[in-house]
Structure 1
Amino acid sequence: MNPSLPLAGREILVTREKKAAKGMADIIRQYGGIPRIVPLISFKPFQDKNERTYLDKLKSYEWIFFTSKNGVHFFFQKLAELNISLDGSGIKFAAVGEKTQRALEVRGIQVDFVPLYYTGLDFAKEFLDQFPDAGHVLLSKGNLARDTISSYFLERNKLIDEWITYETTFPADSADRLIASLKERALSALTFTSPSTIRRFMKVVNDHHLHDFLSGLAIVCIGPVTKEAAESCGLAVQVAPERYTVEEMIQGLAQYYNSFERE
């Protein structure tokens, strides 16, 4: 361990989905921290009751929107299962965030629009400012995602369909692992990358009366939506970066601890 690194010796709770947690853990280690991975969410395909309708008119959409890597993954997984290709369809694609954009590009798909700010409302505003005459839109989303984009579009009489392509579930052993991690009192910080992780975390805390074990822990949220969810649950958020990425989260946490060193 290099004691000069800003997170040296500090245990950081990682609550995101298992596959994505590894990359975040690697970043924590780069800053000298010790990641404690306790995934509070996982994802699986969702059978939307309107799926057949969306598939039947798939190539009539002018735009397809993705707000997460999962939206990309499960959308194209479904198309692959049905042997459906969008090659030559002329459909344009929009993505919220760098990771979502990259998930499309690795599939050889050109991304035609990425907002400057990575929230649903910013996305909707920026998109319609740039493409006021856009035609019918299909949005691939999860079952717990908010309807911010579709509401904004519908209020302005813009056509948009929401296809729920995946659902959020909770790993069976996550509660026991979280309880043990908190009761050890070895953690320095808690990280959250979605409102879903906040809700699951607080359910365990409330059900098992663990509020006292949160004292002194730094709360780190990836962006304003997650921060809002944390604060609505009574958590005081110390770190919420301006760029909504995991890299910026951990850098922000490092800067937070460095500020104490300078005092």
Structure 2
Amino acid sequence: MNLPLKGMNIMVTREKKQAEPISNLIRQYGGVPIEIPLLIYDWIDQPSNRLAFEQLDEFDWLFFTSVNGVRYFIKSIEAYGLSLDHFHSVQIGAVGKKTSEKLKEYGFTVDFEPTIYTAEYMGDEFLRQHHPKKVLLVRGTLSRPTLPEFFTEQNIPFSSVTVYATRVNVDIKNELINELKSNTIHVLTFMSPSTIEAFFQLGKEEIDENTLGRLCICIGTTTRKKAEEMGFQRILIPENFTGVSMIHRLVDHMDNRKGIKHE
């Protein structure tokens, strides 16, 4: 059996729950996942969110840009005692395959998913296919401003609900420092620009040229840009912007180095 990641220690920086399929795939290919969740997510409960959900009949579209947005949206609905049936009258937009899958787990039909998983492309493609009257964006505290700016520029009425907060996992600092000191990590994985910022905030005392020279895999173009800005020199991104696709991209990279061709 081909084990292209055999002997490789791969740092998985995603939250524990979301890290599992990535870690399992790394093991499947012979590698060793080192789970260092750099970010923590907390539900936000505020009166404006409840009011927006109760007045959903004002909107004809709901937009989600992350799995966490879906997760904490559902938590909000349950906490406010609302029925999910109340939301099936609106159309749903989702950035990314995993976001769509999470919505479908809860019985939602995804009416729009972009062919390229970026917020920039999503806005343009969305307007070529649909003509929204008013949009509700479901966001986190560190969600990028791309879609709000796009809808503003296009004069499309919208509101935002911020359902979760993202914060740096300071409790993991010592573990991260120890891993960097050991100098045994072969590959780093980054799921967002925020993850890279947390990596430098927590590990700055041990980050050096050796660290920046390690192979890192970024989930998409925006994260790659951040990695480049921070000085990383060897960067891969997958064709599809998902965590599992990141590992498949790494496997292809290692196989190519070894001259292995897939039929």
- Give the TM bin, normalised by the shorter chain: over 0.9
Aligned partner of 1:242 in structure 2 is 239
* C-alpha separation in 1, matches of 2:45 and 2:228: 32
Specify the code of the residue in structure 2 equivalent to 1:106. E
Q: What residue identity is the alignment partner of 1:45?
A: W
From 197, 216, 223, the equivalent of 1:219 is 216
Q: Residues 45-194 of structure 1 correspond to what in structure 2 (within 5 A)?
A: 45-48=43-46, 50-87=48-85, 90-131=89-130, 133-194=131-192
Alpha-carbon distance between aligned partners in 2 of 1:168 and 1:243, rounded to the nearest angstrom: 24
Secondary structure, aligned partner of 1:50: helix
Tell me if structure 1 keeps the 8 A contact 2:212–2:232: no
Structure 1 residue 182, shift from structure 2 partner: 1.0
1:28 CA displacement: 0.7
- What is the aligned partner in structure 2 of residue 24 from structure 1? 22
Identity %: 36
User: Which residue identity does 1:211 align to in structure 2?
Assistant: D
Deviates more, 1:36-45 or 1:247-256: 247-256
Q: CA deviation at 1:61?
A: 0.9
Q: Number of matched residues? A: 259
C-alpha distance in 2, partners of 1:229/1:198? 7
Unaligned runs of 5+ in 2: none
TM normalised by structure 2 equals 0.93
Following superposition, the deviation at residue 217 of structure 1 comes to 1.5
Which residue among 226, 229, 234 is the counterpart of 1:232? 229
1:252 aligns with 2:249: yes
Aligned-pair RMSD on alpha carbons? 1.7
Residues 203 and 171 (structure 1), Cα distance of their counterparts in 2 relative to 1, 3 Å cut: closer
- CA deviations on 1:28-74 (whole Å, 9 max, x unpaired) are 11111100001101111124563244234222210000111110110
Shift of 1:230: 1.1
Letter in 2 for 1:38: I
Moved more, 227-236 or 34-43: 227-236
Q: Judging changes above 3 Å, is the alpha-carbon distance between structure 1 residues 88 and 47 closer, same or farther for their aligned structure 2 residues?
A: closer
**Structure 1: gaps (5+ residues):** none
Question: Could you report, residue by residue, the CA deviation over 1:110-143 in whole angstroms, capped at 9, with x for unpaired residues?
Answer: 1111110111111111111111x21110011110
CA contact (8 A) 1:183 1:213 kept: no
Is residue 59–residue 86 contact of structure 1 (8 Å, CA) maintained in 2? no
Counterpart AA for 2:71: H
With over 3 angstroms needed to count, the CA separation of the structure-2 counterparts of 1:177 and 1:162, relative to structure 1, is same
Cα offset, 1:258, TM superposition: 2.1
Deviation at 1:19, TM superposition (A): 1.0
